[in-house]
Amino acid sequence: MASLDKVEVMALFALQLKFTDPDRRMEVRPAHREYLAELYAAGKLHEAGPFADQSGALLIYDVADEAEVREIIAKDPYTTADVYEIVTLQEWKRTIPAT
The pLDDT value given to residue 37: 98
User: CA-based angle 57:42:49, to the nearest 5?
Assistant: 15
Side-by-side strand order, sheet with 45-50 = 45-50, 56-63, 11-19, 84-92
| Res. 98 pLDDT band, cuts 50 70 90 | confident
Contact 44, 61 (CB under 8 A): yes
Tell me the domains of the chain and their CATH numbers: 11-92 (3.30.70.1060)
pLDDT one-digit tens code per residue, 35-93: 999 999 999 999 999 999 999 999 999 999 999 999 999 999 999 999 999 999 999 99
pLDDT one-digit tens code per residue, 6-40: 556 689 999 999 999 999 999 999 999 999 999 99
